[in-house]
Amino acid sequence: MTEILKDQIDSATTDSCETYCYHETVVNRVSERIEEISGVELLFKALADANRLKVAYALTLEEEMCVCDVANVLNTSTANASHHLRYLRDMGITASKKKGKLVFYSLVDEHVHQLVNIALEHSKEGWSK
């Protein structure tokens, strides 16, 4: 048996219970509340894109930024930056306001700010891909 196949078999046997059983009180308690998380995956999906996460992070560093500034930070076109900002706005993560010929974006609330910073701290603690 090859070493790689042996590692896969060992991993499969240690990642799962060897016998099926469940704790009814735990399952019932969690099942009553599991739907509370419904829809939250959309927030994580929005932030799963590297450029959108960078935009969100940039907006934790600056209270608001115009589309041109975001484009320069991302080293991309204003059209591309605008696309990501609009997506984040449509997902309820950012807000926009027009000032003359410029459009400025900011994070909607402190929750997104905290989420991005917690993820950053987690990655600095040695979490890897």
Domain boundaries, the chain: 38-124
pLDDT band at residue 9 using 50, 70 and 90 as cut-offs? low
Average pLDDT over all residues of the chain: 90
- Residue 14: what pLDDT? 75
Domain 38-124 falls in which CATH fold? Arc Repressor Mutant, subunit A (1.10.10)
* Alpha-helical runs (H) found in the chain: 3-14, 24-33, 40-48, 50-61, 67-74, 78-90, 110-124
pTM of the model: 0.80
Nearest to 88 by CA among 70, 73, 102, 101: 70
Cα 115 from chain centroid (whole Å): 8
Nearest-angstrom CA–CA distance, 119 and 112: 11
Considering 16-25, 67-76, 108-117, the range whose residues carry the highest mean pLDDT is 67-76
Residue entry with tokens 């484009």:
71
- Residue 16: what pLDDT? 83
